[in-house]
Structure 1
Amino acid sequence: MKAVYAERPCPDDPLTALRFGERPEPEPPDDDWTVLEVRSAGLNHHDLWTLRGSGVPSHRYPLTLGVECAGTDDTGRDVIVHGMVYGREFLDCPVRDPAWTMLGEGRPGTFAERVAVPRHTLVAKPPQLSFTEAGAITGTWLTAYRMLFTRAELLPGRTVLVQGSGGGLSTALIQLGRAAGLRVWATSRTGWKRDLARELGADQAFVPGAPLPEPVDAVMESVGRDTWAHSLRSVRAGGCVVVAGATTGALPPAHLTRIFWNELRVLGVMCGTLAELRSLLTFMVAHDLRPRIYREFPAEDGAEGFRLLAEGDVGGKIVLNW
């Protein structure tokens, strides 16, 4: 079958390791797994990190990339894939499974004509969502939902700062926050992305590091080193910073004094649960929300999507279609 895969880990020039070509057919390990016919799959920064070899042993390469997708299972049902691989007994908290992993990391990923997935990690695709939209949800929208509502526990009227607006996660945070009645502020280095943030529902948009009109209740942080100090300065005493990534570096100065002096909470998010995915889909349908699709490519042209993602010049999700 055809697939988009990393031929080898390449930390210095990851796109040179990207390939489109033949890969082995998926092999479900037991009857609790199924083989999915992939229709659409969204790109995520996780895919770039896997190209670089971050956290993946070299013996797993060549490795088919891709964490999220939508497609059709062996019963003919249109479904969305959770993206995490874990035992059924860990449905409420997948990261507690000592053997948990992700598609496109510990198992062949979703950028292929077919992919093997655990049956208990599938949910029905709402008919209101196209395959392109449904294939761009679990890597960013599900993470955003957990950040805002499960970890930060934000309620209508609260103020949230979204750092680094423009990508799939930040656009999801803005759209979900707006729909939930939050006051949403966002930052971006580029003017058109600040304009996009306001278009999607942000009340105000600022350049990174700018003083805010007042402290916020929570900061959604996925940028890392370049915005970390500003995130800690921007949140009110007793507030929280929710971390779901570190695209500019994972080792900023911790500023521990500010954290304990202001009794801040620093909360991590890897991905949402299956129950949260179902709640997210219900919320999206009720509020007529859709992922903002920046570009679509046929799978054989996936290298162009990866190039855009690596350059950071995106305003939403990039999706590969089969």
Structure 2
Amino acid sequence: MLAATAVSQSASDPLSGLELRDVPVPAPAPGWSLVKVMASSLNMHDVWTLRGVGHPADRIPMILGCDAAGYDEHGNEVIVHPVLGDPEAGGGDVTLDPNRALLSERHAGAFAEYLTVPTGNLVPKPSWLSFDEAACLPVAWGTAYRMLFTRARITAGDRVLVQGAGGGVASAAIKLAAAAGAVVYATSRSEAKRAESLTWGARAAVPSGDRLPEKVDVVIETVGEATWAHSLKCLKPGGTVVIAGATSGANPPADLNRVFYQQQSVLGSTGCTRAELVALLRMMEATGVRPVVDRTLPLAEIHQGLRLMIDGALTGKLVIHPNA
């Protein structure tokens, strides 16, 4: 089968380490299932692996891809929950297991015609959801759901700022928060992405770093250094920043005086549980909210897709078809 495999790592030229290879179809271990991948989607995690960030070199080569939707060996349509670990080790929350791993970190990922995962990681795909839409959900939409509803616990009427509109997590957060009745503000350097965020339910969208119409209760932060100071300044006293990524850098000035004086909270968030993925599906069914798919590409053109993501040229998610 064809698979997109990280064979080397380079901070300056990450795509040089990605090869399309013909590899054997994997055989599932006891308690695992074989999935025919109909759709996967790109995440910045794939780029970080190729850059050598958070992924040790001794785990290379590795088939990349964290998201997958397809058919199990019985012909059932499924979505793969991509966090592999022991929920009991995390006190019932697999994302808190110190030894958890995202698909493609320690186990071959989803940029392939087939993959194997623990059977318990399979979630039935609803008939009202396409494979392309389903492949956008596990990492980006699952992350946004946990940030908003598990960590920040937003309710209708809350004011929410989403930094960096246009990315997969950001587009999900805007749509989900708006669907939950929050007043959503968005930022982006791109005028086109700001305009697009208004169609997703944002009340207003401003250039990155600009003043908002009002202070907010919650900031959804995945950008990091470039937006961190702005995120804290936009918060009401007692407000909360939830951070699940740092694409522009992970060492912003802390501004601790502001944090303690205004009693702000900073919460980390990583991925989602299987139960949160199921809850996300229920919310999507009830509200009609769907992922933003920028475009689809065959696996043979994955280098082009990753380049578009690195260059910030995508709005929403790019879906890969391994069996195209």
> Shorter-chain TM-score: which interval?
over 0.9
Give the aligned partner of residue 13 of structure 1.
13
Give the drift of 1:87.
Answer: 2.2
Opposite residue 218 of structure 2, the aligned amino acid is A
Aligned to 1:37: 36
1:150-199 CA-to-partner distances (Å, cap 9, x unmatched) read 11111001100000001111111111111111100000001001000111
Contact in 2 for aligned 1:50/1:56 (Cα 8 Å): yes
Match of 2:55 in 1: 56
State whether structure 2 residue 302 is matched by structure 1 residue 302: yes
Quote how far apart the aligned CAs of 1:240 are.
0.3
Residues 209 and 230 in structure 1, CA contact (< 8 A), matched pair in contact too: yes
Moved more, 88-97 or 147-156: 88-97
Deviation at 1:263, TM superposition (A): 1.0
Report matched runs for 1:1-322 at 5 Å: 1-28=1-28, 30-87=29-86, 89=88, 92-321=92-321, 322=323
Q: Distance in 1 between matches of 2:176 and 2:35?
A: 29
Question: SS of the counterpart of 2:39?
Answer: strand
Q: What is the alpha-carbon distance in structure 2 between the residues aligned to residue 98 and residue 10 of structure 1?
A: 27
CA 1:88–1:221 in 2, change beyond 3 Å: closer, same or farther?
closer
SS of equivalent to 2:137: coil
Given that 2:41 and 2:135 are in contact with CA atoms closer than 8 Å, whether structure 1 keeps it comes out as yes
Q: 1:13, CA displacement in angstroms? A: 0.6
Aligned partners of 1:225 and 1:252 also within 8 Å = yes
Give 1:234 shift.
Answer: 0.5
Give secondary structure in 1 for the equivalent of 2:26: coil
Q: Distance in 1 between matches of 2:73 and 2:10?
A: 35
What code does the residue aligned with 1:78 have?
A: E
Contact 1:145–1:280 under 8 Å retained in 2: yes
How many Å separate the matches in 1 of 2:318 and 2:200? 17
Instruction: Measure the CA separation in 1 of the matches of 2:150 and 2:44.
Output: 23
In 2, the alpha carbon distance for the partners of 1:63 and 1:27 equals: 16
State the secondary structure of the residue aligned to 1:139. helix
Unmatched tracts of structure 1, length 5 or more: none
The 3-state SS of whatever aligns with 2:9 is coil
Verify the 8 A CA contact 1:88 1:120 in the aligned structure 2: no
Cα distance in structure 1, aligned partners of 2:188 and 2:217: 19
2-side partners of 1:102 and 1:26: how far apart?
A: 18
Task: Indicate the SS of the match to 2:73.
Answer: coil
Q: Per the alignment, in what secondary structure is the counterpart of residue 4 of structure 1? A: strand
The alpha carbon displacement at 1:32 in A equals: 1.6
2:39 is aligned with what amino acid?
S
Offset of residue 96 of structure 1: 2.8
Deviating more after overlay: 90-99 vs 17-26 = 90-99
How many equivalent pairs are there? Answer: 321
CA contact (8 A) 1:237 1:262 kept: yes
Report deviation, 1:88.
5.3
Q: TM-score, normalised by structure 1?
A: 0.97
Sequence identity of aligned pairs in percent?
A: 45
Say which is worse superposed, 162-171 or 16-25, in terms of deviation: 16-25
Gap regions ≥5 residues in structure 2: none
Give the Å deviation of 1:90: 5.2
2:87–2:97 CA contact under 8 A, matched in 1: no
- What is the one-letter code of the residue matched to 1:75? H
CA distance in 1, matches of 2:31, 2:233: 48
- Give, in whole Å, the separation in 1 of the partners of 2:98 and 2:176: 31
